[in-house]
Structure formats: structure tokens, C-alpha cells
Amino acid sequence: MGNTIGVMGLGVMGSSIALNMASKGEKVAVYNYTPDLTDQLVQKSGHEEIYPYYDVQGFVQSLQSPRKIFLMVTAGKVVDSVIQSLVPHLEPGDIIMDGGNSNYEDTARRYDELKVTGIDYLGVGVSGGEEGALKGPSLMPGGDEEVYEKVAPILTKIAAQVEGQPCCVYIGPKGAGHFVKMVHNGIEYADMQLIAEAYTFLREKLHIPLTEIADIFETWNQGELKSYLIEITADILRKQDDKTGLPLVDRILDKTGQNGTGKWTSIQAIDNGIPVSIITESLFARYLSHKKEERVPASTLLAGPEIQNDDLDQDVWVEYVRQALYMGKVCAYAQGFTQYKMTSGLYDWNLPLKDIALIFRGGCIIRAEFLNTISKAYEAQRGIANLLVAPYFVEKTKEYQVSLRKVITEGVMSGLSFPSLSASLSYYDSYRTANSSANLLQAQRDYFGAHRYERTDVEGSFHTNWK
């Protein structure tokens, strides 16, 4: 009997996925193009059924037919070159799964290219970081459903389990799985930036010491904000630097990195007329963070406000910040799920929004208590236009929107920068505006470019001689 699955690429994620598979009873063949990582994994694996191979042919030939190979390599050209190295050794019916953060359009192209050879291809979004990959990630498989069914017993077994259900569901054809993972990361960018802005208010405006802010996040994590990102933020704020004994977060350079998925989310949304301003602002906040060399001199040149009301009741304002953060998160998830809905319509993917919310409840980076509520909103009304108009969120936002206004106003009057909280409020207010100033823009366009406009009272397309 050969190995039941092969894992190729044994970095942070691949080695953990391989160990996860072995711990669930799979016989796992492993291969990495440089042997050191293979040796490290073998040392780590103890008695688990992990079998190392040092050449692609031997790795492939060790697998039971139809062969199932899980790639966990750097996204981009590396995926193409790894596929090229595999194809000569594979047969029709063998299955390659790509678990990296590949661009969903690349995944669709690879699916098409492999289709002509008879080799099956699945793009599997994986979320959960190193720990999730080891103990149970959230998995978003896309490709042919009948091909997914062949690997479902393995994928559902290694995925996180919530209330007895695996955090893995068939997403849709071709690149749909990687698309869902991409937007998941866009939401992740927004969630992280919103948390950072809430932290800024607590620290810079309310002058709360770091350890107490950690306590506040821990308390928030026991209520409706309960989520992985809130939980790790409390841990991060408590961490001391080994070198200086001071809070480590204060020693970390304020330039945020990124690997592309938030940028792709924004580009896809812009290309298709999907309003994801909170996600995009969160991406731009990362870009602006990189202008450190300009921000430092600008901080001594550019004036801020003079009014500063520092006489705020701490308990009252901590609650305002909690509500503001919740509002921001609702708006950000509403934007991400709108992107799913609109793109699903564009490609006829029929994305299972209710199930996507369910598989995000465990394993993944944006796992959060309120995904249960999001799932229920789609269960109650499959085609609901926007999460904001789901009855639960209508009531919640009615209660919390004032807090978002207060926090933004106080922060802005103190010169604090809140790009994503502000984008959340603008989105909320724009979405609930029945008659907007877009009519003025239409008039301007018709004035300078004869672009024509529609009227509110008569059907048709009109042009006016404005002078």
C-alpha cells in the first residue's frame, strides 16, 4: 500500500499541514525542493507516518492511485514550476491541490491548463496560520465538485471542527476557493486595522496603560467581540521585550508588511464596481505606514488641532470604543460578503454565503463569534442585499452607531488618524442615504462632457444645454 497523500513544500504551513494529516491517520509522503526542510520535518515528526522523498519521481510513485498531492509553496511562479515538475510523473485522474495564497485567476488558468492533460486541480484556500495548519485550519476548496468529493474525507478530517462540523465546505468552480480566501484576507486587513484604531483611542486619547488595555481586550473577548484577532491582541500587548524588558509592541517598527491578498481584493472590487472602502482604506493604511521616512519630518512640520478634551469618563468611553469597533467590524464584514455576493453573480458561482460564514467560525484568522449571526442572516434570507439590513444588525447598528460617531469625532478633534473607523461610518451613512448628491455629479458630467443623465420623474436619457 502506498502513501495516501503527498505534501510538497515544507515551510511554515506545509510542514504543519503534513503533521496534521499524519496525526489524522494519513500516510504522508513529503517533499521539499531543498532537502533541509524535509530533514527538519522528519526530525519533528516522531512516530507519525511521515515519509520523506528527495526526488519528485520517487515522491509521486510512492502515492496510491489516484494520487493526491497538496502543494504548500510560495504563491506565484513557484506554483507553476512545481506543477511542471509534477506533470510528467502524473496520470489522468490524479489530483493536485494548491493550498497557498494563489491569485484566483492563476488558479483558474492552472485548472484549464491541467484539464487538457486529464489531471484534476483544486485551489484550496487555507486559513489559520501555523497553529491552524497543525491543529485544524479553515479550508475553502474550489474546482470540480466530483473531484472535491474524492479528497473531502481527508480535507474535512484535517479542518477545524466547530460544533461537530468541519470548517471545510465545497465553495465553487475553478478559482472560487482561492477567491473566497482572498476576500477573507481583505476582511482580515480591515479587522486588524479597526482593532489598531480602537487601541489607538484607548492609548492616545484615554491614556490607558498598556497592561490595562490588554485587560480590556481580554474582557471584550468574552462578549460579542469574541474573536481570534481580539484574543491575540491582548496577548501581544502583554508581551515584554527580552532585550529591554519594555513592551515588545513599542519596539516594533511601525511599517506593516503585506503579501498581496488585500491588494488583490481591492483591485478585484474596483474592477467590478464593488464598494469595499474599509478594506481598501486598511490596505492604504499599510502603504502609508511605509512612508515612515516622510512621516517623521512631517510630524514636526504639519499642525494638528489645538482643542483636546482629555476629561473623558474612562468607563463610559471604553464602552463607546467597544461599540464603535463592533460597528466597524459589522461594516467590514458586510463589505466582504457583498464582494462574495456580487462576484458570485458575475461568474455564476452560486457561492454558499451561509456556509462560508460557518466555516470561518473555526481555524481561520478572522474567526469570530458574530459569524454565527452572519450565517443566520443568510439562512433567514439567502438573497439579502447587504448584511447591514439583516434584522439583527439593523437593531445592533441602531444602538451602536452613535458610539462610532463619538469615537471618530473625539479622535479626529485630537488629531488621531482613523481611516478604517471613518470609512466604516461613511459606508454606513452612504448606504442608508436614500437621496444622495450623486445627482449633482451627474449634472457636472453632463455639463462638461455631455454624458447624459436619467431623471427621477421620466424614463429615458437626457442632456441639457447648461449655459
Ligand X SMILES: O=C(CO)[C@H](O)[C@H](O)COP(=O)(O)O
Beta bridge partners of 63: 3
Asked if 259 touches ligand X (CB under 6 A), the answer is yes
Query: Is 157 tagged catalytic?
Result: no
Query: Is 263 tagged catalytic?
Result: no
Asked if 75 touches ligand NDP (CB under 6 A), the answer is yes
| Residue 83 interacts with which of ligand X, ligand NDP, none, CB < 5 to 8 Å by class | none
In whole angstroms, what is the distance from residue 358 CA to residue 340 CA? 14
Asked if 103 touches ligand X (CB under 6 A), the answer is no
Q: Which of residues 45-74 bind ligand NDP (CB under 6 A)?
A: 72-74
Asked if 186 touches ligand NDP (CB under 6 A), the answer is no
| C-beta separation of 138 from 359 below 8 A | yes
Residue with cell 494529516: 21
| Residue 464 interacts with which of ligand NDP, ligand X, none, CB < 5 to 8 Å by class | none
**By C-beta, is 222 or 258 nearer to ligand X?**
258
Asked if 258 touches ligand X (CB under 6 A), the answer is yes
| C-beta separation of 143 from 121 below 8 A | yes
**By C-beta, is 81 or 436 nearer to ligand NDP?**
81
Asked if 232 touches ligand NDP (CB under 6 A), the answer is no
| Residue 11 interacts with which of ligand X, ligand NDP, none, CB < 5 to 8 Å by class | ligand NDP
How many residues bind ligand X (CB under 6 A)? The answer is 11
Q: Which of residues 132-171 bind ligand NDP (CB under 6 A)?
A: none
Q: Which of residues 2-21 bind ligand NDP (CB under 6 A)?
A: 9-14
Per-residue contact flags (x/-) with ligand X for residues 217 to 256, judged by CB under 6 A: ----------------------------------------
Which of 68, 174, 181, 205 does the annotation list as catalytic?
A: 181
Q: Is the dihedral of CA 227, 148, 339, 456 positive or negative?
A: negative
- Report the residue from 101, 265, 266, 403 that binds ligand X according to the rule CB under 6 A: 101
| Residue 10 interacts with which of ligand X, ligand NDP, none, CB < 5 to 8 Å by class | ligand NDP
Q: What Cα–Cα distance (Å) separates residue 407 from each residue in 313, 414, 416, 425, 442?
A: 13, 11, 10, 11, 34
Residue with cell 506565484: 76
The angle formed by the CA atoms of residues 145, 147 and 150, to the nearest 5 degrees, is 115
Asked if 259 touches ligand NDP (CB under 6 A), the answer is yes
234 assigned to a ligand binding site: no
13 assigned to a ligand binding site: yes
Nearest one of 163, 160, 167 to 135, comparing CA atoms: 160
Q: Which residue is nearest to ligand NDP (CB)?
A: 11
Residue with cell 449571526: 373
Which of 26, 188, 197, 281 does the annotation list as catalytic?
A: 188
In whole angstroms, what is the distance from residue 324 CA to residue 348 CA? 35
73 assigned to a ligand binding site: yes
How many residues bind ligand NDP (CB under 6 A)? The answer is 23
- CA–centroid distance for 244 within its chain: 34
CB of 182 to ligand NDP, least distance (A): 11
Stretch that binds ligand NDP, among 122-130, 216-224, 367-375, 400-408 (CB under 6 A): 122-130
| C-beta separation of 162 from 169 below 8 A | no
- Report the residue from 106, 120, 188, 410 that binds ligand X according to the rule CB under 6 A: 188
Q: Which of residues 114-133 bind ligand X (CB under 6 A)?
A: 127, 129
Q: Which of residues 353-372 bind ligand X (CB under 6 A)?
A: 365
Strand positions, DSSP E, 21-100:
28-31, 50-53, 68-71, 95-98
- Report the residue from 3, 4, 20, 32 that binds ligand NDP according to the rule CB under 6 A: 32
Single-letter residue type at 135: K
101 assigned to a ligand binding site: yes
Q: Alpha-carbon dihedral of residues 261, 263, 266, 269, nearest 10 degrees?
A: -60
Alpha helices in 102-209 (DSSP H): 104-115, 129-135, 145-158, 176-200
In whole angstroms, what is the distance from residue 306 CA to residue 58 CA? 70
- Report the residue from 16, 20, 185, 193 that binds ligand X according to the rule CB under 6 A: 185
Phi-psi region of 172 (alpha: psi -120 to 50; beta: other; left: phi over 0): left
Residue with cell 441639457: 464
In whole angstroms, what is the distance from residue 7 CA to residue 10 CA? 8
**By C-beta, is 76 or 129 nearer to ligand X?**
129
SS3 assignment, position 368 = strand
Q: What Cα–Cα distance (Å) separates residue 371 from each residue in 137, 330, 356, 378, 389?
A: 16, 10, 9, 11, 16
Query: Which residues are annotated as catalytic?
Result: 181, 188
Contact residues for ligand X, defined by CB under 6 A? 101, 127, 129, 185, 188, 257-259, 261-262, 365
Q: Which residues are annotated as a binding site for NADP(+)?
A: 9-14, 32-34, 73-75, 101
Chain residues that interact with ligand NDP, rule: CB under 6 A: 9-14, 32-34, 37, 72-75, 78, 81-82, 100-101, 126-127, 129, 259
